[in-house]
Amino acid sequence: MRRFNLAVLAAVTLSTGLAAVPAHAYGGQRPLGIENCTAGACHFDVPPGTYDVKVLLGGDAASSTRVTGEARRSLLPETAAPAGERVARSFTVNVRTPEGEPTGAAGSPGLDLVLGGSAPALADIKVTPARHARQIFLVGDSTVCDQPGDPYSGWGQRLPQYLAKGLSVANYADSGESTVSYLADSRLWGTVQPLIRPGDLVLIQLAHNDKTTDEATYRANLETLVTGVRAKGGEPVLVTPIVRRWFNADGTLDNGTALLVNGLGVDHPAVVRSVAAAQDVPLIDLTAKTKALVESLGVEASKALYLYNEKRDNTHTSVHGATVYAGLVRDELVARHLVPEGRVRVG
């Protein structure tokens, strides 16, 4: 059974109770704290925006705590604290409505955090508006998005845990979207583009649902997204799609199904690479990275990355697979000098 140890909570509960404290109660100045927490969860009555969260982990016994929040986003990886010691960690989180997929349910207002891990222990927490955060916007499909329920998970849903304070993931990926539908829906590109500020990164991975998009249209749509990001002072980053787990008899993934070649013969990763080169846009070749990984694991071991065992699904990733693929994205962000090495977490 999990043991929740909120060291400061008992005393606060006796004097103030556990009702959420609205931001206006402090005039927007004083940090919101542990009085907003119960055993295993915290709720902060804040408006949409970007917030810095500082947690103090640990208790009388050895502990191990992770933090998730909003639409099942992984915000802090499992962190150990020796018995009697405290470990401070900080992260930045994007609060929005809808809190998950842009075309999905609105979710609950405010900021919701959940404590997990093998022995969670929260000693203190502070939430303040982020003054100088850099956003990493995600434009993508179901392999990227904040999936609403188990066993599904998109790599964008797992990316925040790898980023330190000052970098926030605003995941506007949405299930079922192609370049055509993403540009056409006001809840998607029409919402994302006005939010982009100078210096923000916008990672674009759209291909899985462009099954009937011809090459000229696909290329033009990618160029439109790139131009739109640059018009707002942001930095576009093109991302080739993750592979489908579809093996040949010889154990390779060298086929159209695995490598996202559509029914019209459009080689999506090749077009993305071409547009990146022509437009001088940074490229994260996630197709090549995931292909190499899946082939190295082989037919059996690679099943754990996807939902083969649960759903016979070779396209969508498990929590484990999404976490591994998010790690690949993190590594590429650093390798291409898109974020400083000191602003990411390893492991």
pLDDT in tens, the chain (347 residues): 333 444 433 333 322 222 333 444 344 456 799 999 998 999 999 999 999 999 999 999 999 999 999 999 999 999 999 999 999 999 999 999 999 999 999 999 999 999 999 999 999 999 999 998 999 999 999 999 999 999 999 999 999 999 999 999 999 999 999 999 999 999 999 999 999 999 999 999 999 999 999 999 999 999 999 999 999 999 999 999 999 999 999 999 999 999 999 999 999 999 999 999 999 999 999 999 999 999 999 999 999 999 999 999 999 999 999 999 999 999 999 999 999 998 998 86
Nearest to 42 by CA among 67, 65, 62, 59: 67
Angle in degrees, 0-180, between the axes of helices 215-231 and 268-279, rounded to the nearest 10: 40
Terminal-to-terminal C-alpha distance of the chain: 26
Neighbours of 210 (CB within 10 A): 27
CA dihedral 96, 100, 104, 110 (to 10 degrees): -40
Cβ proximity of 220 and 265 under 8 Å: no
Beta strands at 73-81 and 167-171: parallel, antiparallel or unpaired = unpaired
User: 3-state DSSP call for residue 299?
Assistant: helix
**pLDDT for position 39:** 85
Nearest to 90 by CA among 106, 79, 98: 79
**pLDDT for position 347:** 64
* Alpha-carbon gap, residue 133 to 184, rounded angstroms: 29
User: Is the torsion defined by CA of 221, 204, 259, 285 positive or negative?
Assistant: positive
Nearest to 283 by CA among 226, 237, 344: 237
DSSP string, 103-148: TS----SSEEEEEEEEE-BEEEEEEEE-SSPEEEEEEE-TTTS--S
Element at 328 (helix H, strand E): helix 319-335
Give residue for tokens 């929590």: 319
Q: Which amino acid is at 58?
A: G
**pLDDT for position 29:** 53
Q: What are phi and psi of 173, to 5 degrees?
A: -70, 150
Q: What are phi and psi of 156, to 5 degrees?
A: -65, -25
* Alpha-carbon gap, residue 98 to 106, rounded angstroms: 4
Work out the burial of residue 148: count CB atoms within 10 Å of its CB; fewer than 13 is exposed, 13-18 middle, 19 or more buried: middle
